[in-house]
Amino acid sequence: MRLWMIGCGNMGGAMLRRWIETGAVAAGDVDVVNRGDRALPEGVRQARTLPAGPVPDVVLLGMKPQQINDIAARFAGQIAGAPLLISILAGVDEAALAGRFTAGAIVRAMPNLPVGIGKGVVGLQSASAGPDARAAVAALMAPLGLVEWVEAKLFDAVTALAGSGPGFLYRFIDALAAGGVALGLPADQAQRMAVATVEGAGLMAAASADSPAALADRVASPGGSTREGLNVLDRDEALAALLRETLVASARRNAEMAAAAR
């Protein structure tokens, strides 16, 4: 499979490295356009413009969303007719993409950073992709982690929950470690313990048939220390309300960016 990537920053680079590591894509079949050279896997061609010749099987848009008009002006003609155009641009909906680019099918993808270790989440949405194109995209994304197709109206929610979710979780880890420091633990030790606690708990939740709520109750014996801590988080739905507010703010910003891109 031949792949052109227009923009290959942190997220695109994580995806590309994972694809090459797993053999989903061969390094020699990839051409990347970047404004400046980045550290990319050996064998990947990198330039300031797209190569001459026929269109590839897949074109992936991975630049900053605000660059879309410039990229369309420079490359829309050259990538016209590509069988598959995949966009990981936050806040740029399918209609905005279709108004600037022509392809057999256009698919929006929202990955998160753990795709680089095969433990990410990739939300997918498309009104133009038929069964064959959808199967091809799902197969390409499979090495990156959990792949979920969603409705267009829910894409901002997916972006807020999964796309931005690692950033919110890192804040939680920091806060958990800071709580340990407040109790007297050395900062470096508290951070190591917080990271390992979240890693282990996450792996257990992924492997369990029980819901996270049931797992929390299993940890918290009646009258015990965990239950006392959960009582603080559960009081007036403090944690749930905070996270709802967080996701609403993120989803609202995605909707604003989509409106600006139209």
pLDDT tens for 66-96 read 999 999 999 999 999 999 999 999 889 999 9
Question: In the prediction, which pLDDT does 261 show?
Answer: 74
Domain borders along the chain are: 3-150, 165-256
Question: In the prediction, which pLDDT does 262 show?
Answer: 72
Separation of alpha carbons 222 and 98, rounded Å? 56
Q: Which residues contact 24 (CB under 8 A, 6 or more apart)?
A: 18, 140, 142, 143
pLDDT at 258 over 90: no
Q: Which DSSP state fits 161?
A: I
Q: In this structure, which CATH number among 1.10.287.3510, 3.40.50.150, 3.40.50.1820, 3.40.50.720 belongs to the domain 3-150?
A: 3.40.50.720
pLDDT at 158 over 90: yes
Average pLDDT score over the chain = 95
Q: Which residues contact 8 (CB under 8 A, 6 or more apart)?
A: 16, 32, 33, 34, 38, 40, 46, 62
Whether pTM > 0.75 for this model: the answer is yes
Mean pLDDT of 148-156: 94
Question: Which residues in 129-155 are b (16+ Cβ under 10 Å) and which e?
Answer: beeebeebbeebbebbbbbeeeeeeeb
Residue 30: strand, helix, or coil:
strand
- pLDDT category of residue 260 using cuts at 50, 70 and 90: confident
- pLDDT category of residue 235 using cuts at 50, 70 and 90: very high
Task: For residue range 186-219, list pLDDT tens digits in order.
Answer: 999 999 999 999 999 999 999 999 999 999 999 9
Mean pLDDT of 37-51: 95
Architecture of domain 165-256: Orthogonal Bundle (1.10)
pLDDT at 62 over 80: yes
Q: Which residues contact 154 (CB under 8 A, 6 or more apart)?
A: none
Comparing CA positions, the residue from 3, 85, 14 lying closest to residue 46 is: 3
* Structure tokens that stand for 235 in this block: 């009081």
Question: Which residues in 168-194 are b (16+ Cβ under 10 Å) and which e?
Answer: eeeeeeeebbeebeeeebeeeebbeeb
Question: In the prediction, which pLDDT does 206 show?
Answer: 93
